[in-house]
Amino acid sequence: MSGAVACGGALGALARHGLGVLFPAAPPAFPWTTLVINTLGCLLIGALVGWLVASAPHRLAGPFLSTGALGGFTTFSAFAVDVEALVHLGRPGTAVAYLVATPALALSAVFAGTALIRRVRPAPPAPPAEDVPTERTR
């Protein structure tokens, strides 16, 4: 399992690095690249969770994709460093906007991803109610 996580993490980190090279955003500019990476990663993790619930994938698919690839792709530490850099460079308003936008967009993206997968591929039905013990059946 550790190998799957490591391989996924390497791929995710390379993807994040590639986007950072293609779309550089050094302070004092608004860190759009990190915001988009984290939001996209959250959308994908939401979709992945929905897919894992509705499917029976290989046992390494979840660790490879979630902890590995998406964990390596998204970056909380870069978010924190960007906020500090913006404050240090005298852009507190931009720092606050980024500080508010990132978790708001991240959570919205997770909800959107799970909702999308639930709509496209519903979870398997729950077991019949008679299989669940109740006060009457105890």
**How many other β-carbons are positioned within 10 Å of the β-carbon of residue 5?**
20
AA identity, residue 13: A
Token pair of 72, please?
Answer: 């390596």
Mean pLDDT of the chain: 90
pLDDT at 66 over 80: yes
Q: Reduce the DSSP state of residue 84 to 3 states and report it.
A: helix
Query: pLDDT > 90: what percent of the chain?
Result: 75
**71 marked as binding residue:** yes
How far is the first Cα of the chain from the last one, in angstroms, to the nearest whole number?
A: 41
Q: Where are the domains of the chain?
A: 2-12+42-123
pLDDT, tens only, 20-46: 999 998 888 999 999 999 999 999 999
- Give 9's pLDDT tier (boundaries 50, 70, 90): very high
- Give 19's pLDDT tier (boundaries 50, 70, 90): very high
pLDDT at 129 over 60: yes
pLDDT at 85 over 70: yes
